[in-house]
Chain A
Amino acid sequence: MAELTALAGLLGLGGAFALVGLVLAGWMAWRIVEKAGLPGWAGLGAIALTLTAVGTVVPLVLLWVFAFMRWPRDEAGAETAGAAPRPLAPPSKALTDRRGWRLEGGGVSLAFDESAPIYRLTGGPAEQPTDLVVPDPSVGKPHARLLTAANRLGLEDLGSPGGTYIDGARLLPAHGPRDITAARTLKLGNVELALSRT
């Protein structure tokens, strides 16, 4: 009798683990295919197929198809398909705008110009004269780097967990410096900053 109880308990525990694993795998599959530009339900459905008579063979085939198919994320000309901001077109050579820039939002107004080639955006106290402080817990210390040269402004993310966004598109450290001369808003962590010329 005791053995039977133990066996039933073991089967119940195994079933619970299988169920949690299946739900977790379905959720992760949903997120993965969404990142590739496909509908999330396709990933969830592929995992749910393991519950049916076709077992794990069809999901395995679908995994191979997903790996080698064309992803909507990679479609040329897709409207803002990638979260990575695209590099902006080079400015006209006639551009002679010598004004500085201003970042406003989150209770701060930061003005800077080309007197320094590099500025650091940080959430902590300023350590250098070129540190621009955005006092918010979601802003890294330092968070990002602003680059000025030839009337152009660049932004480089330094990998802070809060994230950096240019007009809503995520900027990652792997993207390197991006031209934001024509950008309107930056987001550092939870702080949105409007970019304008002074």
Chain B
Amino acid sequence: MPDITSWLLSWAIVAGSAVLFVIAVVHLLVALVLIIPSWRILTRAGYAGALSLFHLVPVIGSFIVMAILAFGDWPAGEARRR
């Protein structure tokens, strides 16, 4: 007779893994939508485009990229403040 507890546990693990996988894929897709334009903005500002990969960091990734652009001196030059 199969052990119902272990059967339920197996299914819970499978279902949990599937949910985590879906979350990871969605996170990657959303990050990609941010990484592509950010890569170009960082490159135009004179920074390494790879800094846009900070978008992969959950929650604070976008803030890191924005802080680099907002508070750093752009190596490629900035427009004069109005």
Tell me the A residues contacting B by CB distance below 8 Å: 21, 24-25, 27-29, 31-32, 34-37, 39, 60, 63-64, 66-68, 71-74, 80-84, 163, 170, 172, 174
CB contacts (< 8 Å) of A29 on chain B: these are 66, 70
When the two chains form their complex, are residues B37 and A35 in contact, meaning their CB atoms are under 8 A apart? no
Say whether B77 contacts A73, CB under 8 Å. Answer: yes
- With CB as the reference atom, state the residue of chain B lying closest to A81: B79
Residues of B within 8 A of A (CB): 33-34, 36-38, 40-41, 44-46, 62-63, 66-67, 69-71, 73-82
Which residues of chain B are near A83, meaning CB under 8 Å? Answer: 74, 77-80
Most chain B CB atoms below 10 A, which of A25, A32, A83: A32
Q: Are B79 and A37 in contact (CB under 8 A)?
A: yes
CB distance from B29 to the nearest CB of A (A): 12
Given contacts A66-B37, A82-B78, 8 further A-B contacts (CB under 8 A): A24-B63, A25-B63, A28-B67, A35-B69, A60-B33, A72-B79, A81-B80, A83-B74
Tell me the total A-B contact number using a CB cutoff of 8 A: 80
- With A73-B77, A82-B77, A172-B73: A34-B66 Cβ-Cβ less than 8 Å: no
Of B37, B45, B78, B81, chain A has the most CB atoms within 10 Å of the CB of B78
Closest chain B residue to A79 by CB distance? B80
- Report the Cα distance A24→B67, complex, angstroms: 9
| A169 (CB) vs chain B CBs: closest residue | B80
With A28-B69, A31-B71, A34-B82: A71-B44 Cβ-Cβ less than 8 Å: yes
Name A80's closest neighbour in chain B (CB-CB). Answer: B80
Q: Is the CB of B37 within 8 A of A25?
A: no
Contacts of B80 in A (CB 8 A): 80-83
How many Å from the CB of A38 to the closest CB on chain B?
8
Partner pick for A67 among B38, B62, B76, CB 8 A cutoff: B38
The interface residues of chain B lying within 8 Å CB-to-CB of A66 are 37, 41
